[in-house]
Amino acid sequence: MLDPRHILITGASSGLGAALAAAYAAPGRRLSLAGRSAERLSAVADHCRDVGAEVEAAVLDITDPVAMADWMVRIDKTAPLDLVIANAGISGGTYGGSESEAQVRAIFAANVDGVLNTVLPVLPLMEARRRGQIALMASLAAHRGFPSAPAYCASKAAVKIWGEALRGQLAPHGVAVNVIMPGYVKSPMTDANDFTMPFLMSAQRAASIIRDGLARNRARIAFPWPMTMIAWLLGTLHPALTDPLLRRLPKKR
């Protein structure tokens, strides 16, 4: 079982990121938390400190590679990072019509470039000391492109495939890589959806599942299992069978 002492989490100011911070907060643990909202991030950091964790919080834009690298290298020098959770991301869809160029680029910038900016600075450091763990937040939507959210699905598919390949590449160097694939988790991102979300779970429950999966070094942490099976099946079936169904799904805001 892996038991990280210094954990970095992006997107920690709300939703699943905040729940993960709370799940890992404990005496003897050091948390480095990044988020966009100074007020919400401060509240999360204060809660984690109240239960005994040592916390550094930084308001950062994950799409800024220089700022991310500077911060990560600095905190790693203070105490080597054991676990990096590249959680931050954004969503969007076709509720108002086709995705605009600006929307598509923003989603890829956050969900792909943001992940790269979170992972790449620390990889050589972990490889050099031959230990560490990288967790990448993908989604069950990575199994199949949904017409209601093309850019989101594609960005999460990129994260999934990159993470799976990295796991094999880095295992001989002592670095674990895990791909996280949640279904619907209650958060500000899903609160914008005005349609029924099957098997919607709390961020706290999702964080518990993720923490357990990371401790066991599971290659793919996908949940809940009914949605996992549905998403996987949709990805394996021929588009001629699935396209008519998927076109009828409600639009995502």
- What are the pLDDT digits (tens) for 140-159? 999 999 998 999 999 999 99
How far, in Å, CA of 156 to CA of 97, rounded? 21
Residue 31 · residue 213 · CB < 8 Å: no
pLDDT band at 218 (very low <50, low <70, confident <90, very high): very high
How far, in Å, CA of 253 to CA of 25, rounded? 33
How far, in Å, CA of 222 to CA of 205, rounded? 13
Q: Which residue has the higher pLDDT, 93 or 72?
A: 72
Mean pLDDT of all residues in the chain? Answer: 93
Please give the model's pTM, rounded to 2 decimal places. Answer: 0.93
Residue 214 · residue 83 · CB < 8 Å: yes
The catalytic site residues sit at 152
pLDDT above 90 for 251: no
Q: Tens digits of per-residue pLDDT, 24-69?
A: 999 999 999 999 999 999 999 999 999 999 999 999 999 999 999 9
Instruction: Summarize the confidence of residues 217-244 as an average pLDDT.
Output: 94
For residue 130, give Cα distances in angstroms to 39, 44, 56. Answer: 37, 31, 25
Instruction: Summarize the confidence of residues 62-81 as an average pLDDT.
Output: 97
| CATH number attached to the domain at 6-246 | 3.40.50.720
